[in-house]
Copies of this chain bind each other. A is one copy, B any other.
Amino acid sequence: MPEKVKKEQSIEKNASTEEKIKEAARRVFTRKGYAATRTRDIAEESGYNVALINYYFRSKEKLFDIIMLEHIQLFVNSVLEHLNDRTTSLPQKLEILIGHYIDMLIKNPDLPVFILNEINADPAKLIAKVGFDKIKPENIYMAEQWRMMVAAGKVPPINPIHFLMNAVSMTIFPFIASPLIRNRMGLTLDEFNALMEERKKLIPAWIKSIMHNPQPL
| A interface residues (Cβ-Cβ under 8 A, vs B) | 32-36, 110, 113, 116-117, 119-121, 123-124, 127, 132, 135-137, 158-159, 161-162, 165-166, 168-170, 172-174, 176-177, 179-181, 183-185, 195, 198-199, 201-202, 205-206, 208-210, 212-217
Contacts and interface: CB of A to CB of B under 8 A. Distances in A.
A166 to B, nearest CB: 6
Nearest to A169: B173
14 contacts: A32-B121, A33-B121, A113-B116, A113-B117, A120-B179, A137-B185, A165-B170, A165-B173, A166-B206, A169-B169, A172-B173, A173-B176, A205-B217, A209-B209
A21 to B, nearest CB: 21
A209 B208 CA distance: 10
